């Protein structure tokens, strides 16, 4: 082989690799923009924690078979639950919701057995407070 032929072969190899790198980098850049274009935007909801806890609260109420008419979020991290049979329940979102609801079920069972209607049951404090009619 002549030296000119070797030089042209080396030159062609260099050209091949340069073109290969440009195509490779170009495809990486295009794929990055392609996937970011179709990616859903992340929306941060500042009150998402409340909705998650509210869903947990509803699940707990249904799990313990406590019938309720509405749940509302009051200020100071308090959920207010209105029961269908009457009565108002105040639950703290800073405490374990499942624990509060299981205590509520026990209290409701005791009050039903005794036949004592209540007005408010408050779980904001260390021990539940029951206010009667």
Residues 6+ apart with CB under 8 A from 100: 91, 92, 123
What's the mean pLDDT in 28-52? 70
- Residue 46: predicted pLDDT: 56
Please report which confidence band the pLDDT of residue 42 belongs to, taking 50, 70 and 90 as the band edges.
low
Q: Does domain 48-132 have CATH number 1.20.1090.10?
A: no
User: Does residue 111 carry a pLDDT above 80?
Assistant: yes
For the ranges 35-39, 50-54, 103-107, 120-124, which has the lowest average pLDDT?
50-54
**Extents of the domains making up the chain:** 1-42, 48-132
* DSSP state at residue 95: S
- Residue 3: predicted pLDDT: 81
User: Is-contact 79 54, C-beta < 8 A?
Assistant: yes
Give, in order, the Cα–Cα distances in Å from 118 to each of 19, 47, 53, 112. Answer: 82, 32, 25, 10
Please report which confidence band the pLDDT of residue 17 belongs to, taking 50, 70 and 90 as the band edges.
very high
């Amino acid at each position: 082989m002549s030296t000119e032929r070797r030089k042209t072969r080396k030159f062609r190899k260099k050209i091949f690799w340069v073109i290969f790198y440009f195509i490779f980098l170009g495809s990486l850049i295009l794929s990055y923009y392609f996937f970011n274009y179709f990616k859903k935007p992340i929306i941060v909801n500042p009150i998402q924690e409340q909705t998650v806890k509210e869903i947990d609260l509803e699940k707990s109420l249904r799990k313990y078979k406590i019938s309720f008419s509405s749940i509302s979020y009051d200020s100071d991290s308090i959920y207010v639950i209105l029961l269908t049979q009457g009565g108002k329940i105040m639950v703290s979102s800073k405490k374990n919701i499942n624990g509060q609801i299981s205590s509520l079920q026990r209290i409701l069972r005791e009050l039903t057995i005794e036949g004592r209607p209540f007005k408010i049951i408050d779980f904001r404090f260390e021990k539940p407070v029951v206010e009667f009619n």
